């Protein structure tokens, strides 16, 4: 049994923390809101702040919305850094800036502790099923030490390289996912406007080279109008902003990513930033003045 900490118990963090405690580990938790009752019922111990979590746990996991949130939780008042002792490990599973991640890692390393950036893909469904894809940056030794815990949360677990490389991989993942959602949205808007049944079009495409997980899952969401968030547009916007900021710094062009970001901005400007990112199709529907399918009554 290991003494673990988990900070950030949102849509993703709660099931991830649940899987750790179900794996037989002692868990100390902190979140901005109330700790979910289901988690405390399993034995999770609520802490007053991040410092207390770091004092009591040997490995501390973070699952937070954005780069500033991670900076505050690590180095702000009552932050993780204040509670660390040499030999402990910080694992940031948030999706944040690769550049800032390298800075955070150096600061934690200077305290005699290890740092892994380990963002995930798979959404709420993957978090609950412990089938997340986990992309890790850090040392081989730290990775091997934490790997059995990653295996309680995910299936496709890869040490990509050094600190920051996990976050770089996640940004690349979010580019691919966003462009696929946009492609599926465009295809279904086109088919529906042309008079074809979008459900049957999707069914036909699932048997060909256009088949994808996005067409399977998010294509169905677009047709059934089920936009309750698994992964919110607002969070995907943040990830694409990281991609575009990184592109500027690296001197590369990401024209399709910029287009997808603008579609998400259109949704956000129309009050849809808290919908699932499959609702990106609504921006295309606004421009076409035609929905893929009627909204549910």
DSSP state of 29: E
Residue 46 in contact with residue 40, Cβ under 8 Å? yes
Question: How far apart (Å, rounded) are the C-alpha atoms in residues 243 and 126?
Answer: 23
- For the chain, how big is the Rg over CA atoms in Å? 20
Q: In 3D, which of 52, 60, 59, 63 has the Cα closest to residue 10?
A: 63
Catalytic positions are 170
Question: How far apart (Å, rounded) are the C-alpha atoms in residues 220 and 202?
Answer: 8
Question: How far apart (Å, rounded) are the C-alpha atoms in residues 15 and 22?
Answer: 10
Whole-angstrom CA distances from 72 to 105, 130, 234, 269 are 14, 28, 20, 28
């Amino acid at each position: 049994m290991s003494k673990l900490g988990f900070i950030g118990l949102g849509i993703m963090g709660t099931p991830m923390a649940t899987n750790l405690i179900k794996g037989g580990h002692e868990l100390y938790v902190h979140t901005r809101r109330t700790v979910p009752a289901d988690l405390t019922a399993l034995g999770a111990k609520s802490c007053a702040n991040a410092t207390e979590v770091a004092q009591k746990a040997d490995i501390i996991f973070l699952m937070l919305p954005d780069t500033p949130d991670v900076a505050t939780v690590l180095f702000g008042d009552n932050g993780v850094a204040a509670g660390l002792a040499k030999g402990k490990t910080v694992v940031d599973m948030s999706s944040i800036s690769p550049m800032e991640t390298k800075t955070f890692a150096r600061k934690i390393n200077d305290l005699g502790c290890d740092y892994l950036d380990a963002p995930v893909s798979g959404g709420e469904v993957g978090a609950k099923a412990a089938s997340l894809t986990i992309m890790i940056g850090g040392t081989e030794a730290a990775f091997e030490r934490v790997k059995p815990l990653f295996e309680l949360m995910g299936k496709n677990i890869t040490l990509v390289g050094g600190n920051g490389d996990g976050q770089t991989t996640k940004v690349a993942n979010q580019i691919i996912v966003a462009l696929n959602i946009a492609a599926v949205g465009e295809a279904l808007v086109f088919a529906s406007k042309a008079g074809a049944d979008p459900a049957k079009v999707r069914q036909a495409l699932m048997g060909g080279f256009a088949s994808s997980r996005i067409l399977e899952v998010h294509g169905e969401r677009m047709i059934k109008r089920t936009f309750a968030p698994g992964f919110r547009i607002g969070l995907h916007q943040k990830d694409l902003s990281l991609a575009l900021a990184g592109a500027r710094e690296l001197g590369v062009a990401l024209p399709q990513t910029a287009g997808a970001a603008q579609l998400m901005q259109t949704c956000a400007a129309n009050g849809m930033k808290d919908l699932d990112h499959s609702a990106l199709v609504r921006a295309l529907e606004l421009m076409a003045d035609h929905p893929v399918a009627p909204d549910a009554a």
